Amino acid sequence: MEYLKEEDEEGIHSECETLLGRLSKEMNIFQKNLFFSGPYDNQNAILEFHPGAGGTEAHDWASMLLRMYTRYAELAGFSYKILDILEGEEAGISSATLLVSGKMAYGNLRSENGVHRLVRFSPFDASGGRHTSFASVSVIPEFDQSIAIDINPADLQIDTYHSSGAGGQNVNKTESAVRITHKPTGIVVSCQVERSQMQNKELAMNMLRSKLFQLEEKKRQEEKEKIGGVKKDISFSSQIRSYVFCPYTLVKDLRTDYSETNVQSVMDGNIQNFIDSYLRYDFMEKMKKK
């Protein structure tokens, strides 16, 4: 660029554009290395979906979010499995568990933890009224047997049942689905995606390890803030994003203020800009605390 001030040549223009392009790529890699510096960012991610109050409308919203994240996984090059799903009585889902696997899956998707708000004209309202619905997305890293989490077998209640989801010939014919209850904490996990009961049990145990780890992390954080005199909500239920379908279209992250107007594109899985915006925000917040 200094040379261009002296001599405006096409060759120097071309070289400058090449070098700036290379610098931009290197900067992006550098930023990603900073953003993905968490101890569990390289783990797979487990997402759980639960509708809030609002009946059928909220159940439908939860299923829309499940679809959005499966589409995101496809676009980002991740693989995914719906480990467990409970259909809603009229529409949508009552709950679902999604496993997203790949490099930095949790590092990306940890940004999505919280309550998501929908505003739209409800297709379930004959009067065509506008409705506001809520659904929660809980995101935790997946821990397998390589992570030391002490679980006493005597504390587990393991039940098997017929799979109710996709599974080909095994559906409702063999008790391949597994539900595990951790009696001391009351944590319940279930998996029905695999044909083998043993495989479903292994995936369910990984989910249990992750939930127990999350519980311990939350206890440590609460104790740390109690000692430090910090008074703030550390729950996982805070509202993070609004999706407005009418009277205008807007998706806005309430933490970073980043927004987009193409709601359908976002619902089709194009959420990487929201994720990147949160990663920058989260990194800067951590730097302020240091």
Identify whether residues 127 and 58 lie together within a single domain: yes
146 pLDDT tier (thresholds 50, 70, 90): low
Q: Contact, 35 vs 86, CB < 8 A?
A: no
Phi first, then psi: give them for residue 153, nearest 5 degrees: -55, -30
Confidence at 229, pLDDT banded by 50, 70, 90: low
**Binning pLDDT at 50, 70 and 90, where does residue 238 land?**
low
Q: Which domain holds residue 27?
A: 2-35
pTM of this structure: 0.78
In this structure, is residue 40 part of a structural domain? Answer: no
Based on the domain organization, do 223 and 236 belong to the same domain?
Answer: no
State how far the Cα of 187 lies from the Cα of 277, in Å rounded to an integer.
33
Is 165 in the same domain as 178? yes
H or E segment at 200? helix 197-228
pLDDT at residue 227, rounded to an integer: 58
Output 119 or 221, whichever has higher pLDDT: 119
Residue 197 lies in a domain: yes
Q: Convert the pLDDT of each residue in 130-145 to its tens digit.
A: 889 999 999 999 987 6
97 with 239, same domain: the answer is yes
Q: How much is the average pLDDT of 181-206?
A: 92
What are the Cα distances from residue 183, in Å, to 16, 142, 148, 208?
Answer: 64, 21, 19, 12
Report which of 82, 193, 92 is spatially closest to residue 135, judged by C-alpha positions.
92
User: Looking at the structure, do residues 167 and 28 belong to the same domain, yes or no?
Assistant: no
Which H or E run includes 35? helix 10-35
User: Can you tell me the distance from the alpha carbon of 273 to that of 116, in angstroms, rounded to the nearest whole number?
Assistant: 17
Q: What's residue 167's pLDDT? A: 40
Q: Are residues 131 and 168 in the same domain?
A: no
Domain termination residue (choose one: 208, 228, 248): 228
Specify the CATH number for the domain of residue 159: 3.30.160.20
